[in-house]
């Protein structure tokens, strides 16, 4: 896949709902993570199965907070906040993605704003961190908009579509 084309100017969705993910969302989330643009920006493997998604939901982990973006009864985005433990209990990592057909409409912003509110105002976290492929312009734009800064670059961070790709480490400190 080539670098993503520039996104057209699209209107945000006024009827977007951000809520906790439920076990019954597993099928919709499996569909989401198997979309090609979603996979291009994340570490998802092709052909992720419903069983793999269901396993993520069935693991009882009080440190993981999963949210979804829902519109007209369709799941069009997801975000996960994973709190670290011990001496890194003030830190959480973030992973997220938006449905290919709904990118550029504020869904990612709504999900990230919800997780930052959770982190700052309810979990009292100091540091949020993530990795992002260096060519993922929309994700870099989103994270910069919310105050994340590049701290460094992982060389050959992951294998994607036949070649290795670098990733930036980004973080946001409260």
Q: Which residues bind ligand COA (CB under 6 A)?
A: 6-7, 37-38, 41-42, 96-98, 103-109, 132, 136-139, 141-142, 145
- Residue number, 109 or 120, with CB nearest to ligand COA: 109
How far apart are CB 13 and ligand COA at their closest, in Å?
10
Do residues 76 and 70 touch, judged by C-beta distance below 8 A?
yes
d(C-alpha 174, C-alpha 119), whole Å: 9
> In b/e form, how buried is each residue of 124-160, taking b as 16+ CB within 10 angstroms?
ebeebbbbbbebbebbbebbeeeebeeeeeeeebeeb
- Residue number, 125 or 139, with CB nearest to ligand COA: 139
Closest residue to ligand COA using C-beta atoms: 41
How far apart are CB 109 and ligand COA at their closest, in Å?
3
- Residue number, 91 or 96, with CB nearest to ligand COA: 96
How far apart are CB 80 and ligand COA at their closest, in Å?
11
Do residues 69 and 107 touch, judged by C-beta distance below 8 A?
yes
Task: Centre a 10 Å sphere on the Cβ of residue 73 and count the other Cβ atoms it contains.
Answer: 7
How far apart are CB 144 and ligand COA at their closest, in Å?
7
- Residue number, 89 or 118, with CB nearest to ligand COA: 118
How far apart are CB 86 and ligand COA at their closest, in Å?
25
Task: Centre a 10 Å sphere on the Cβ of residue 18 and count the other Cβ atoms it contains.
Answer: 17
Do residues 119 and 146 touch, judged by C-beta distance below 8 A?
no
- Residue number, 11 or 58, with CB nearest to ligand COA: 11
d(C-alpha 174, C-alpha 159), whole Å: 32
């Amino acid at each position: 896949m080539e670098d993503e084309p520039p996104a057209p100017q699209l209107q945000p969705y006024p009827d977007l709902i951000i809520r906790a993910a439920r076990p019954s969302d597993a099928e919709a989330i499996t569909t989401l993570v198997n979309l090609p643009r979603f996979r291009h920006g994340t570490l998802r493997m092709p052909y992720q199965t419903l069983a793999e998604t269901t396993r993520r939901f069935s693991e009882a982990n009080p440190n993981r907070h999963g949210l979804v973006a829902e519109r007209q009864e369709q799941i069009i985005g997801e975000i996960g906040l994973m709190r670290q433990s011990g001496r890194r209990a003030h830190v959480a990592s973030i992973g997220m993605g938006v449905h290919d057909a709904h990118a550029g409409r504020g869904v990612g912003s709504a999900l990230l704003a919800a997780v930052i509110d959770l982190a700052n105002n309810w979990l009292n976290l100091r540091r949020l961190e993530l990795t992002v492929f260096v060519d993922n312009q929309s994700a870099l734009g989103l994270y910069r908009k919310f105050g994340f800064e590049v701290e460094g670059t992982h060389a050959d961070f992951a294998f994607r579509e036949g070649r290795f790709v670098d990733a930036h480490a980004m973080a946001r400190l409260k």
